[in-house]
Amino acid sequence: MDMLFPSWPLMVAFFAASVALAVTPGPAVVYIITRTLAQGRGAGLASTAGVALGNLGNATGAALGLAALFAVSSLAFTLVKYAGAAYLVWLGIRALRARDAAPAEARFGDASLRRIFRDGFFVALLNPKTAIFFAAFLPQFMDPSASAPLQSIALGAVFVVIACITDTVYVMAASMLAPLLSRMSGAASAGRYVTAGAFIGLGIFTATAGGRGK
């Protein structure tokens, strides 16, 4: 146990910092809220799970040195960055081409939720800034006398769980607003354009953001 987590004072500081960072809205939160408003609570929860798994992959990658590769190789960082941006833009184009009134089973069927989970996973995984973030954030709370990779994976998993909880709160709040928005005249058509615009905007933001921080 001591090999995985730091002393309690450091662990408390880690929890506090993780909660503060997790509740701050970022691209992942915007993505999850957009999915929830467009496709319902089930889609939002599936997106949250997919994003969490993708972030866990980035935490593991940071522990295994992937973040170091991105830090020294601009080409590797840029390729993954633009791949993630292109994926978001593709999701936006797909939303733009979708019909205004999709049947409930198309929104909440098992196949649809699997696809939404997959989309969330790749959106998070194809964000090299997340690996850089974990590589910069986690060492602040690690014990130098213990295994760095094990601590990095363990602390990364804790952060992902915290972020998953806060993202779920965002989903629940957005799902409560969705019925009100759906009753507004023209909401279906407008929602399609807002959804597409949000995804495409996130893709452009991801592609043009200059820094490598989260």
Distance of CA 61 to the CA centre of its chain: 15
Band the pLDDT of 214: cuts 50, 70, 90: very low
Helices (H), the chain: 8-23, 27-39, 41-63, 66-72, 74-97, 104-108, 110-125, 128-137, 148-182, 187-208
Cβ-contact 116, 125 below 8 angstroms: no
**DSSP string across 150-202:** HHHHHHHHHHHHHHHHHHHHHHHHHHHHHHHHHTSTTHHHHHHHHHHHHHHHH
Residue 145 phi, psi dihedral angles, 5° rounding:
-85, -10
pLDDT digits over 141-196, tens only? Answer: 877 777 778 888 899 999 999 999 999 999 999 998 877 765 554 445 555 666 67
At 77-97, the pLDDT tens digits run 778 778 878 877 887 787 677
pLDDT digits (tens, 9 = 90+) for 98-115: 654 444 433 434 448 889
Predicted confidence at residue 171, as pLDDT, reads 96
Residue 43 has pLDDT above 90, yes or no: yes
Of the candidates 43, 26, 6, 62, the one whose C-alpha atom is nearest the C-alpha of residue 163 is 26
Enter the DSSP assignment of 8. H
The distance of Cα 168 from the centroid of its chain, to the nearest Å, equals: 12
**57 touches 125 (CB < 8 A):** yes
Q: Which of 7-16, 47-56, 98-107 has the highest mean pLDDT?
A: 47-56
Looking at the whole model, is its pTM more than 0.85? no
Q: What does the pLDDT read at residue 178?
A: 76
What amino acid is encoded at 100 in this protein?
A: D
The model's pLDDT over 67-80, given as tens digits with 9 standing for 90+, comes to: 677 777 778 777 87
pLDDT of residue 121: 95
Domain boundaries, the chain: 8-208
Who's near 59: CB < 8 A, 6+ residues apart? 131, 134, 138, 152, 153, 155, 156, 157, 159, 160
Q: At what angle do helices 148-182 and 187-208 cross, to 10 degrees?
A: 150
